[in-house]
Amino acid sequence: THDPLNGPQMSNDKKIIEGRVLSFDKNPFDKDFDLSSLKIQRKRIFVIDGIINGIEEANFNRSDFNNIEVMDYGEHLISAGFVDAHVHYPQTAIISSWGKRLIDWLNVYTFPEEMKFNDLNYASEIANRYLNFSLSSGTTTVASYCTIHPESVNAFFEAAAAYNMCVVAGKTCMDRNAPEGLCDTTKSAYDDSKALLEAWHKKGRAHYAITPRFSPTSTPDQLSALGALWAEYPDCLMQTHLSEQVDEIDWVRKLFPKARDYLDTYETFGLLGTRGVYGHAIHLEAREIDRLNEVGASLIHCPTSNTFIGSGLFDIARLASRSTKVGLATDIGGGSSFSMLRTMACAYEIAQLRGIALHPAQLMWLATQGSAKALHLDDQIGSLTAGMAADLVVLDLSSTPAISQRSTRANDIWEELFPTIMMGDDRAIVATHVAGEKVYQRGVI
Ligand code: GUN
Ligand code: ZN
């Protein structure tokens, strides 16, 4: 028998999933994007072995799918599953910790909690708790930092594999400016990262990311060792933090007096590249923006974290329109919600404060294909087309009375969807599918 929560898929396993389908074949941030090119109507998604084999009109029958039961979601909206491009799963239990800005928040709340992850049992408990919160929020892929402990990495990849989820993760490396129990060394950071990378990268749906936490917590030696490791494994991602808070940037300037700017502290040590994924990137200088564009690096917008920790307003209009790739993320536990709906709402609010009204199509794109592109996974996830994994979320656009009374008077799908983006939460998530399998259903524990 086949346990739906514990892959691997049996071969020639077929599924049919039906509902209103939203998928992008163009980027709604492009100047010539035409909204009318997006036809959202009831369709039938044919899935073989977890991969979308075809998408047809609703009620279309295929002879090779005779006797396969249709999972019909009616008028609910089926989207590619949300892709949360920057999280710290070990911070799940300290979400919503009061009253601190970045550096104090790290020292007071984050580092003491991360110390506990040398215990594989605790790491597994939190990894499973975190993934359950994500799946019940419609998130099917996450890119997570772990802690300095290899146990925290093994626990996370094992938990994700049990759901057959496509995930990115890596051992967080720190060898200074953190408590003694939370520091590795140049050598152990390199050796442990390499061993974990060899063990997990491209094993099933796992992807390893080399993960220096940020330049203040790594010595130049450690940064350069991780730069060398990335050069040995150039198909891996490298994830870190960049220019999140003004005090942090001042600190970086003192720690690296020769660097031109924050980005330079990465580039000097081989940690700038196309497959580099830089979280926050709020207070960038013109040179940094130009250089990031030149390289084609990825920036991850973490709106609920940026307001919660008081970091600043990401410049989405300036950054998403150039060759920089931009993804969207919760940044658990600096972020205040596991939900990418709430995260899209906050991205909308931040853009409004900068004088830009993001269209619901742009918000949905950021949360799916934008993040998938930023993680270089858009050949597998982030859109619903033949050849992609059947990782999807089913959204109820009338999940509460307050949302329903607004969406029912809408004139088009975007006006119908927008109240769910702004006001929706886990009650709007009807079901979440990973590689075709239903791994979450509303109302079922
Ligand atoms: N910068 C370095 N580490 C962290 C972290 O854990 N969270 C956030 N928001 N910023 C960081
Ligand atoms: Zn972070």
pLDDT in tens, 147-179: 999 999 999 999 999 999 999 999 999 999 999
| CA pair distance 153, 339, nearest whole angstrom | 23
134, 393 contact by CB (below 8 A): no
Q: What is the best residue among 105, 301, 331 to mutate for testing ligand 1's pocket, by most ligand atoms within 8 Å of CB?
A: 331
Per-residue pLDDT at 320: 87
Residue in the block written with tokens 């359950």: 132
- pTM to 2 decimals? 0.97
What spacing in Å lies between the alpha carbon of 184 and ligand 2's midpoint? 19
| CA pair distance 335, 324, nearest whole angstrom | 23
Low-confidence residues of the chain: pLDDT under 50 = 1-4, 9
Instruction: Return the ligand number nearest the Cα of 106.
Output: 1
Q: In Å, how far are 42, 61, 79, 426, 434 from 431, measured between CA atoms?
A: 17, 23, 11, 10, 10
Q: Which atom of ligand 1 sits closest to the CA of residue 217?
A: 2
* Measured torsion, CA atoms of residues 304, 305, 306, 307, in degrees rounded to the nearest 10: 50
Q: Which atom of ligand 1 sits closest to the CA of residue 279?
A: 10
What spacing in Å lies between the alpha carbon of 214 and ligand 1's midpoint? 8
Per-residue pLDDT at 2: 45
What spacing in Å lies between the alpha carbon of 19 and ligand 2's midpoint? 35
419, 406 contact by CB (below 8 A): yes
Q: Which atom of ligand 1 sits closest to the CA of residue 110?
A: 6
Q: What is the best residue among 91, 94, 106 to mutate for testing ligand 1's pocket, by most ligand atoms within 8 Å of CB?
A: 106
What spacing in Å lies between the alpha carbon of 87 and ligand 2's midpoint? 6
Amino acid 365 reads W
Per-residue pLDDT at 199: 98
| CA pair distance 290, 175, nearest whole angstrom | 30
Our answer on whether the CB atom of 110 is closer than 6 Å to any ligand 1 atom is: yes
Our answer on whether the CB atom of 90 is closer than 6 Å to any ligand 1 atom is: no
pLDDT tens digit string along 209-239?
999 999 999 999 999 999 999 999 999 999 9
What spacing in Å lies between the alpha carbon of 165 and ligand 2's midpoint? 21
